[in-house]
Amino acid sequence: MPRLTKIYTRTGDKGETGLVGGHRVPKDSLRIETYGTVDELNSFLGVARTFCREAKPQTDATRKLDGVLRGIQNTLFNLGADLATLPKDKIKGMPVVTKEHITFLELLMDECNAELPPPKEFILPGGGQISAHLHVARTVCRRAERLCVTLARKEKIGGHAVPYLNRLGDALFVLARWISLKQKEEEFFWEK
């Protein structure tokens, strides 16, 4: 993968950007919007990780969540690189999202859900700081998923992109509930 040696290039000053492989596209193209939203999601997970590391006191749960989120962030970089590359420009060995990434999220949810009581009603986003940031990340994840669905109707993308984001949205909901439980924070339910 190419490494950035210079941050500003001036090549985007006219509203275009380069994909992996060198093709130039408008900055407002659906492909750019899609992987830009994946990047936004990754940034929100970085905020959640900061709160995990700054939690007082540090607990096994905050350390575990920090590690899980770091792994997810790396997978999101793989997804972003995949989305930033046209199918004809893919190279062998390029990191992509795989079925194993999806299976990891499913097993993680099963493990965390085993500790959680079933919700009594729809849960209002919030709770503690970490939980609240995970709920924001969840909504950004759902937007990224919707954009991937739209992009997949128009262009070829990696076959695991949509299922991964679908599972990740679910996992972020479960993780938000799980860390609230571990931090002994109250869940707030929708009042009809």
**Domain segments of the chain: what residues?**
24-182
The percentage of residues in the chain with a pLDDT greater than 70, rounded to a whole number, is: 86
Tokens of 59: 């607990």
Reported pTM: 0.88
CATH code given to domain 24-182: 1.20.1200.10
**96 DSSP 8-state letter:** -
d(CA 54, CA 129): 11
* Secondary structure (3-state) at 116: coil
pLDDT for position 190: 81
| Position with higher pLDDT, 23 vs 182 | 182
**Percent residues over pLDDT 90 in the chain:** 62
Q: Tell me which residue has tokens 């991964």.
A: 164
**Alpha-carbon Rg of the chain, whole angstroms?**
18
* 90: nearest Cα among 140, 159, 14, 17: 159
pLDDT at 14 over 70: no
Closest listed residue to residue 79, CA positions, set 62, 59, 96: 96
| pLDDT band at residue 21 under the 50/70/90 scheme | low
Poorest-pLDDT segment among 31-40, 58-67, 84-93 = 84-93
Cis bond before residue 57 (omega within 30° of 0): yes
| Residue found under tokens 């004809």 | 88
- 12 pLDDT more than 70: no
**Does position 189 have pLDDT exceeding 70, yes or no?**
yes
- Residue 4: the pLDDT is 60
| CA geometry: angle 82, 76, 72, nearest 5 deg | 145
Whole-angstrom Cα distance, residue 42 to residue 28? Answer: 20
Q: Quick one: pLDDT band at residue 56, thresholds 50, 70, 90?
A: confident
- Tens of pLDDT along 150-187? 999 999 998 999 999 999 999 999 999 999 999 988 88
Which residue did the predictor score with more confidence, 1 or 88? 88
Instruction: Using the Cα atoms of residue 84, residue 162, residue 75 and residue 132 in order, give the sign of their dihedral.
Output: positive
